[in-house]
C-alpha cells in the first residue's frame, strides 16, 4: 500500500486540490497497483449510481404520483408559483409592489364595480378567498419608456349572462384570476420578437392553480378597436 492509496476515491471524484491532483495523476502513470484500485473503485461507484438510479426510477414509475407534474408543464409550474406568491401579496394588501396584479379597489376604480367587488372591499381578506373577482385583465403597456398597467374588462363579459349576485360563493368558483405577461415567465430571448401573450392563471379557493391559459396580447390598435 503506497501513500497515495488513501486519496484515490477523492481523486476519482475530482475533490483533490489542484496540486495534489497533479501529483496523483503522475503517480498513477507509474503505479499499476493504484491504477487497478482506481478501476475497482470506479466500478463500485458506477455500479451504485446505476443501481440507485434504477431503483429510484422504478419506484417513481411504479405509481405515478396523483399530483405529479410532467416536465412539459414546467412553465405552468413556474407561472403557478409566481401567481401563488402574487396572490399572497394580494391578500396581505401589499399589491403595489407587484407589477401585474391589481387590487380589488384598483380594478373597481377602472371598471364598473360589480356587487362581489363591493363585498370584497368591505371585508377584504376573508371574503376574497371565496368571492370571484371579475375577469379584469391587467395589461402591460409600454409608452414613452415607462411601463404602465391598465385594466379593462373584456367585452365578452358584458355580453355573457352575469352570474346572479351573491351566488359566487360556491367552493368551485375561482378565487382569484391573475395575468402574467410572457416576458415575466420566460427567460429573456425565449419569446420571439413581435410575439406577445399573457398567461391567465385561475386560482382555486384552496390556493392551487386551477387553470392556466395563454392568451395573445392585443396591440394598442386592436385594443382600441375592441373597446369601441
Residues near other proteins (CB under 8 A) are 6, 9-10, 13, 15, 40-41, 43-45, 47-69, 71, 74-75, 77-78, 81-82, 84-85, 96-99, 102, 106, 109-110, 141, 146-152, 183-188
Q: How far is the CB of 117 from other proteins (least distance, A)?
A: 14
Q: How far is the CB of 204 from other proteins (least distance, A)?
A: 16
Complex with other proteins: residue 137 or 168, whichever CB lies closer = 137
**C-alpha to C-alpha distance for 65 and 58, rounded to whole angstroms:** 13
The Cβ-side half-sphere exposure at 24, using a 13 Å CA radius, reads: 21
Long-range contacts from 106-109, C-beta under 8 angstroms, 24+ separation: 106/151, 107/133, 107/134, 107/136, 107/151
Complex with other proteins: residue 63 or 156, whichever CB lies closer = 63
Order of strands across the sheet that contains 197-203: 176-181, 197-203, 209-216
Which residues, including other chains, have CB under 8 Å from residue 10's CB and lie 6 or more apart? 16
CB atoms under 10 Å from CB of 198, counted, come to 24
Complex with other proteins: residue 164 or 227, whichever CB lies closer = 227
CA angle 146, 152, 158 (to 5 degrees): 170
Complex with other proteins: residue 27 or 168, whichever CB lies closer = 27
Complex with other proteins: residue 106 or 174, whichever CB lies closer = 106
Q: How far is the CB of 116 from other proteins (least distance, A)?
A: 19
Q: How far is the CB of 50 from other proteins (least distance, A)?
A: 6
Amino acid at each position: 500500500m503506497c501513500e497515495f492509496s488513501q486519496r484515490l476515491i477523492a481523486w476519482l471524484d475530482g475533490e483533490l486540490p489542484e496540486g495534489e491532483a497533479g501529483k496523483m495523476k503522475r503517480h498513477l502513470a507509474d503505479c499499476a497497483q493504484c491504477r487497478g484500485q482506481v478501476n475497482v473503485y470506479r466500478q463500485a461507484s458506477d455500479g451504485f449510481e446505476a443501481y440507485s438510479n434504477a431503483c429510484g426510477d422504478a419506484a417513481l414509475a411504479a405509481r405515478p404520483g396523483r399530483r405529479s407534474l410532467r416536465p412539459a408543464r414546467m412553465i405552468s409550474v413556474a407561472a403557478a408559483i409566481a401567481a401563488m406568491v402574487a396572490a399572497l401579496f394580494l391578500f396581505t394588501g401589499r399589491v403595489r409592489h407587484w407589477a401585474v396584479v391589481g387590487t380589488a379597489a384598483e380594478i373597481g376604480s377602472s371598471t364598473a364595480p360589480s356587487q362581489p367587488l363591493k363585498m370584497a372591499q368591505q371585508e377584504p381578506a376573508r371574503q376574497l378567498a371565496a368571492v370571484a373577482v371579475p375577469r379584469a385583465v391587467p395589461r402591460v403597456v409600454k409608452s414613452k419608456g415607462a411601463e404602465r398597467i391598465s385594466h379593462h374588462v373584456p367585452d365578452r363579459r358584458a355580453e355573457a349572462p352575469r352570474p346572479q349576485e351573491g351566488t359566487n360563493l360556491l367552493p368551485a368558483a375561482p378565487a382569484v384570476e391573475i395575468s402574467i405577461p410572457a416576458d415575466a415567465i420566460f427567460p429573456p430571448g425565449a419569446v420571439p420578437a413581435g410575439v406577445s401573450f399573457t398567461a391567465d392563471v385561475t386560482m382555486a379557493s384552496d390556493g392551487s392553480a386551477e387553470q392556466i391559459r395563454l392568451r395573445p396580447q392585443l396591440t394598442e390598435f386592436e385594443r382600441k378597436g375592441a373597446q369601441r
